[in-house]
Amino acid sequence: MSDPRILTVRPEPGEFAWTFGGAPPVARIAPGTVLDLYTEDCFAGRVRSEQDLVSRVCEFPFLNPQTGPFHVEGAEPGDTLAVHFVSVEPARDRAASTTVPLFGALTSTHATASLHEPLPEVVWMWQLDRARRTCLFSARDSDTEIELPMDPMHGTVGVAPANLEVRSALVPDAHGGNMDTPEMRAGVTCFLGVNVEGALLSLGDGHARQGEGETCGVAVECAMNTVVIVELLKGVATPWPRLESDTHIISTGSARPLEDAFRIAQLGLVDWLHRDFGLSRLDAYQLVTQASESPLANVCDANYTCVAKLRREWLPPGSAHRGVHGQLRETAGALGSPGKR
Amino acid sequence: MSDPRILTVRPEPGEFAWTFGGAPPVARIAPGTVLDLYTEDCFAGRVRSEQDLVSRVCEFPFLNPQTGPFHVEGAEPGDTLAVHFVSVEPARDRAASTTVPLFGALTSTHATASLHEPLPEVVWMWQLDRARRTCLFSARDSDTEIELPMDPMHGTVGVAPANLEVRSALVPDAHGGNMDTPEMRAGVTCFLGVNVEGALLSLGDGHARQGEGETCGVAVECAMNTVVIVELLKGVATPWPRLESDTHIISTGSARPLEDAFRIAQLGLVDWLHRDFGLSRLDAYQLVTQASESPLANVCDANYTCVAKLRREWLPPGSAHRGVHGQLRETAGALGSPGKR
Amino acid sequence: MSDPRILTVRPEPGEFAWTFGGAPPVARIAPGTVLDLYTEDCFAGRVRSEQDLVSRVCEFPFLNPQTGPFHVEGAEPGDTLAVHFVSVEPARDRAASTTVPLFGALTSTHATASLHEPLPEVVWMWQLDRARRTCLFSARDSDTEIELPMDPMHGTVGVAPANLEVRSALVPDAHGGNMDTPEMRAGVTCFLGVNVEGALLSLGDGHARQGEGETCGVAVECAMNTVVIVELLKGVATPWPRLESDTHIISTGSARPLEDAFRIAQLGLVDWLHRDFGLSRLDAYQLVTQASESPLANVCDANYTCVAKLRREWLPPGSAHRGVHGQLRETAGALGSPGKR
Amino acid sequence: MSDPRILTVRPEPGEFAWTFGGAPPVARIAPGTVLDLYTEDCFAGRVRSEQDLVSRVCEFPFLNPQTGPFHVEGAEPGDTLAVHFVSVEPARDRAASTTVPLFGALTSTHATASLHEPLPEVVWMWQLDRARRTCLFSARDSDTEIELPMDPMHGTVGVAPANLEVRSALVPDAHGGNMDTPEMRAGVTCFLGVNVEGALLSLGDGHARQGEGETCGVAVECAMNTVVIVELLKGVATPWPRLESDTHIISTGSARPLEDAFRIAQLGLVDWLHRDFGLSRLDAYQLVTQASESPLANVCDANYTCVAKLRREWLPPGSAHRGVHGQLRETAGALGSPGKR
């Protein structure tokens, strides 16, 4: 692979997108371009202390700022974008989480409506130690402190949706978006089906780490310096976002109720085994039943997200997405260590 | 701890239970007893080849035979049973899985009712290599064979339910039952709240391995030789089944829709952190949000089951269930290697 | 039809059943028997004033007392019981409703678990005017009084469940039980599939009236004097409870999530039109789509219940359940006005 | 009220909108304007015979054409639009319904994903007798014909959504849209919260009639001549669409799972009684529990829709939406019989 072009984008306030679809592209890029990006946190950087309650300092609907969108030259409906995460590195030493009134899994919400008053709004500031790669939890109601490993990821990555729609950056669906899966970390390639000319890729919502399910609705939210390589697979359709890591193939589904997200993700894995690895659909159903890992991604957003993972070492012979994950892995290696720059 | 009593139970056909509650105890045991058990597979051993379709060879509702129930002396409502899995070892070299008409996650069912005809009924026989600890998948529609690691577990362990009810052994709920979580393996202690005098513990439904979610509804089903130690915690209530391993504390929830199972399991973890580890409930909510692992257990049974796991090394100081997991671990060690007997 | 036998049963405290299945029959009756019954309210009569909070005066699990069960001679699995409601008349001038902590549709519950504190527990006493057939709502927090029409019904009617199970009288499922549909009123015939020898019919949970969905979980709860005629249809299977009125055929479904209850009820109507009225299943699907009424029954119980109704005047030629509804209607007419006795 | 302005809009092919939000207004209207509209059916008029399968003759995503949008002068976020349906009259003598692959309540869908093949695609043509006001069902697989009353309605009416979004005309949500409730008939006023300047009202998806739940996903679809009066209520917020008829006040909710749609609609009614009729929220909860009618609207669309109805005669003293329904009713009367023109 020849020397890739590198495009650096560090948006100023006012230069972010708040939707998938509906926002003009910030740049046109050729397939193979390396994007060296700054992403702001989901609060648009406004939660800086325990006093900064979201309901006071944030301005709805200007949440979850997206860096992009990028128009990928030649991308057309029916193609697939491959977004390889070379590095995802926190851009600050602090990160924030919070409860948000009527949002989260263990509270009444606007949809799971009830007569309860909202839970209290509380902010937790997390200290990041980027050298030691840890995040420090400091309890609000006691002196407890707990150090957790940093595991940086992007909650949100997606393209313009189909069906003429424009969706809030807070929504995950078939176009990707706010899937909030911890699998979206450095070393992974994310595959997104293209719905409109140019695809209109954007990403944001960095998390220093996140539990599976994102129970309270808000992870350890953090601005990020992120490097991705964007490739284009012509003539390959991807109905729901997929990921590949060095160890797993991973399908996703986003829907409500949660069992529908599970069904979509698992059927995605069955169909993947059928098309790329030669198993009949029923044989694939059996293999997935016994071999899949099924960690939850989010159970708090407008749609809930499940992933379905299968170890590469357990796959029949075959190749996914024309082997592009392995190629991008190599290209990334040749870049040096861009994430550490 | 003094020399534990060992009770060996290997039921003959006709000596199994088919429900939680409603079956007379097969034995009364003192707390601390070691049970050396044989459990039959969920088909009552009747699926022995690819020709043995469940709809033909099995006799409803005589599915999922339980070894037990055991009346634990002194157990009363409000107490908790601790069931430590010393060893779970396949009793045969073959195991079976199958599709079952109108059952499973990727099919219409009796509840998710539709106008579709049922999917085809297909049996897969799995060969177990107990020395190498592998399970061999043989595809039905191609020559593909895939070797997966053996990871033996019990799909079903529970006590008599509350509210005067008797539940089929196929149902998971607050009394445990058919939770179908791969976490229920050797080395783990399962905590079950006692609802009736004597608790009436039983277990069955061994799986040589199972994916998370048990997508088609049937794991690698296998008869087991299983050794457990049964302890009693007086005056400790456990509203939903919990597990402890050497690495994690684990709560469970079983309900429909799946998000309710998630809510129960996650709230269980929050409450656990609050009561045994001194965090306020909101601080616990925050920690769980960033630190929990949330693999699915089953998305096919009468209730769906989620588990919520937290690494022990990330816990604040404190002790769960009076440290009984550690004690039982030691007792198990002193037994020699009973699973290999 | 010859002179029907009449059996009068007015249980004393201590003579009620609290489950479907698992309770010994109070009487053996021949098909065709008229049952002249007293049913206690769901609180076992213990909520007599606004001070009688359920959490204080009631004793779990002794809620929702059932009059019965009745062993119907000759009833076997595969048969259907026809229970015709001749009259359903409030037995007292007062009725009660209440919020119950962690129960109801607009609150967190044990299944839809959250960190909210329970809603306040409040009792409303309703005055019944049996001559004018009205129920008087008296607001607790203002002077507002509103008179609603009385529309007496039974929330609970069912038989012993299948699969060796015993279910709490608070649960609706395929055996009937706590369906809480306002359709279960005088003039209606309820069809219940028989699961065990003798069927073991019981009923209770009278409501002076109830909205569709039973939002807070508790209707205008009232002891009842109720007359039913019990018939037996040999060799007719009924997978889910059905009802017939003079104007409608009505199928039911009880499940979670609510869309599964809807699916069961609507598929029930499609299958009914297919088997008894000669439409193909797809033609029946189309007719049901354009013609069904789909009022909710309950969205608060352990399973949610939907009904699907079709006007008799829009049915193709055919006959449901061997015309037994019409025959029982006539028999009821010949009884005089037993409800007014 | 002075003589209302009347605007007639009969779009040509190519002049319809396919989304809520994102389409330029076809006209600016002053509050009080009477709109005399033609709406095309959901198939854009392309299903004209039993041979016209949707998968062949329709062009995704160009389904469910909307007449509009109309920019209402002075409408701002925080206001409410009142849309009074003066008349809704079928514009043709034929209407069509159909199954659509992977769409509907009694089939696997893209969200409730499975391994089943889609159900057969079948079209039913319905003959309308506009003089006698009937719709004739002709079975496809037998000679059965059934005449049902015509009950014309609009499946879709809405405004531009909040949060910068653009939604497909097939989606119901807080902005209205494809709610598919049979309540949306002549004589009713629909209240929609304004999210963007000018509100951007549009409507379409006429049904000659529809069952509650729209089981197969497609009603008796028909082009319509429809007259509405559009009023503006400044400073009145309406979080979810509401309706008023001469007999009922009606709230709506659209979500998945279906119980969340129920919760939203019922909480809407509780809040309505609290704000406009002076009941405390708990007293309102009680009244709604005993008095609400809860017919399903759709259980097939991207969100499911419930309505919650309360009879006006059972309301405490008070007035909803400043009495605008009554005023619009009078204005409509003064128009003569525009629907019959």
Which region among A210-219, C126-135, C143-152, D328-337 has the lowest average model confidence (pLDDT)? Answer: D328-337
Q: How many domains does chain C have?
A: 1
Is A178 within 8 Å of A186 (Cβ atoms)? no
Kindly state the average pLDDT of the residues C320-326.
Answer: 93
Cβ-defined contact of B212 to A294 (cutoff 8 Å): yes
Q: What is the pLDDT of residue B299?
A: 98
Least confident of A75-79, B211-215, C197-201, D318-322: D318-322
List the single range of A337-341, B86-90, B118-122, D68-72 with lowest mean pLDDT: A337-341
What's the CA gap between D47 and D42, in Å, rounded? 9
In this structure, is residue B332 part of a structural domain?
Answer: no
CB contact (8 A) between residue B116 and residue D119? yes
**Which chains reach chain D with 3 or more Cβ–Cβ distances below 8 angstroms?**
A, B, C
ipTM: 0.97
- pLDDT tens digit sequence for A266-309: 999 999 999 999 999 999 999 999 999 999 999 999 999 999 99
Query: H or E stretch including A274?
Result: helix A258-277
Mean pLDDT of B168-188: 98
Kindly report the nearest CA distance between residue D195 and chain C, in angstroms: 26
DSSP string spanning B152-209?
A: -EEEEEE---STT-BEETT-EETTEES---TT--TT-EEEEE--STTEEEEEEEEES-
- Closest alpha carbon to C258 in D310, D306, B267, B117: D306
The residue-averaged pLDDT of A2-26 equals 93
Geometric angle at alpha carbon B68, from B65 and B70, rounded to 5°: 160
The count of CB pairs under 8 A between chains A and B is: 206
Q: How high does pLDDT run on average in chain D?
A: 96
Answer whether residue C1 is part of any domain: no
Per-residue model confidence as pLDDT tens digits over C217-258: 999 999 999 999 999 999 999 999 999 999 999 999 999 999
pLDDT at D341 over 90: no
If you average pLDDT over residues C93-117, what whole number do you get?
Answer: 98
* Position B338 confidence tier, pLDDT thresholds 50, 70, 90: very low
Distance in angstroms (rounded) separating the CA atoms of residues B226 and B229: 10
- Within a domain: B335: no
Q: Is the pLDDT of residue A42 over 80?
A: yes
* Cα separations in angstroms, D292 against B110, C215, C257, C298, D256: 30, 9, 21, 12, 21
Residue C70 counted as domain residue: yes
Nearest CB among D139, D256, D292 relative to C211 is that of D292
| pLDDT at residue D162 tops 80 | yes
Tokens of A184: 């979206």
CB distance C259–D285 less than 8 Å?
Answer: no
CA nearest to C208, candidates C105, C132, C140: C132
Q: Which helix (H) or strand (E) holds D260?
A: helix D258-277
Identify whether C252 is part of a domain. Answer: yes
A198-212 pLDDT, tens digit per residue, is: 999 999 999 999 999
Q: Of A137, A257, A267, which has the smallest distance from its Cβ to B259's Cβ?
A: A257
The pLDDT of residue C338 is 46
Rounded-to-integer distance, Cα B53 and Cα C205, Å: 43
Residues in chain A: 341
Contacting C with CB below 8 Å, chain B residues are: 18-19, 21-22, 60-61, 110-115, 162-168, 170, 253, 255-257, 260, 263-264, 267, 270, 281-282, 285
Give the separation between CA D268 and CA D266, rounded to whole angstroms. Answer: 5
**D-chain residues within 8 Å CB-CB of A168?**
163-165
Residues D21-59 pLDDT 10s: 999 999 999 999 999 999 999 999 999 999 999 999 999
Residues of D in contact with B115 (CB under 8 A): 106-107, 119
Among the partner residues D111, D165, D255, nearest to A166 by beta-carbon distance: D165
Q: How far apart are the C-alpha atoms of D114 and B135, rounded to whole Å?
A: 27
Residue C284 is classified by DSSP as H
Instruction: Report yes or no on C339 lying in a domain.
Output: no
- The model's pLDDT over B21-67, given as tens digits with 9 standing for 90+, comes to 999 999 999 999 999 999 999 999 999 999 999 999 999 999 999 99
D106 CB neighbours in chain B (<8 A) are 113-115
- At C272, which helix (H) or strand (E)? helix C258-277
Choose the mutation target among C110, C170, C171, C200 for the interface with B, i.e. most B CBs under 10 Å: C110
Residues D284-328 pLDDT 10s: 999 999 999 999 999 999 999 999 999 999 999 998 899 999 999
Query: What residues of chain B lie within 8 A of the CB of A217, using their CB?
Result: 289
| Residue B199, domain extent | 6-312
What pLDDT, in 10s, does the model give residues C176-223?
999 999 999 999 999 999 999 999 999 999 999 999 999 999 999 999
The model's confidence at residue D2, banded by pLDDT at 50, 70 and 90, is: low
With bands split at pLDDT 50, 70 and 90, how would you rate the model's confidence at A219?
A: very high
Q: Compare all CA atoms of chain A with the CA of C119 and give the residue at the minimum distance.
A: A116
Residue D1 scores a pLDDT above 50: no
Instruction: Tell me the two tokens of residue D329.
Output: 């009713």
Q: Which of A259, A303, A311 to mutate to test the interface with B (most CBs of B within 10 A)?
A: A259
Cα–Cα distance, B204 to D248 (Å, whole number)? 55
Give the residue from chain D lying closest to C291, CA to CA.
D211
CA nearest C98 in D: which residue? D286
In whole angstroms, give the CA distance from residue D340 to residue D214. Answer: 27
DSSP string, D37-51: EEE--TTTT---STT
Chain B, nearest residue to D259 by Cα: B257
C-alpha pair distances (Å), D28 with each of D197, D201, D236? 12, 10, 21
Is residue B225 over pLDDT 70? yes
pLDDT at D3: 62
**Segment B253-268 mean pLDDT:** 98
Average pLDDT on B307-316 reads 97
> Is D113 within 8 Å of A21 when comparing Cβ atoms?
no
CA D48 to chain centre: 23
DSSP structural state of residue D293? B
Residues of C contacting chain A (CB within 8 angstroms): 106-108, 112-117, 119, 257
Residue D163 lies in a domain: yes
- Among the ranges B2-6, B316-320, D16-20, which has the highest mean pLDDT value? D16-20
Of C112, C165, C167, the CB nearest to B260: C112
Domain-located, residue A324 = no
With a cut of 50, say whether residue C341 has pLDDT above it. Answer: no
**C162 close to B63: Cβ distance less than 8 angstroms:** no
Look at D285 and A115 and tell me if their CB atoms are within 8 Å: yes
Structure confidence at residue A2 (pLDDT): 53
When pLDDT is cut at 50, 70 and 90, the band that residue B339 belongs to is very low
Residues of chain B positioned with their CB less than 8 A from the CB of D257? 257
Among the listed residues B250, B249, B238, the one whose alpha carbon sits nearest the alpha carbon of residue B319: B249
- Residue C56 contacts by C-beta under 8 Å, 6 or more apart in sequence? none
Task: Please name the member of D216, D258, D278 whose beta carbon is closest to the beta carbon of C262.
Answer: D258
Distance from CA of A257 to the nearest CA of D (A): 5
Closest-CA distance of chain A to residue D304, Å: 11
CATH code of the domain in which A82 resides: 2.60.120.580
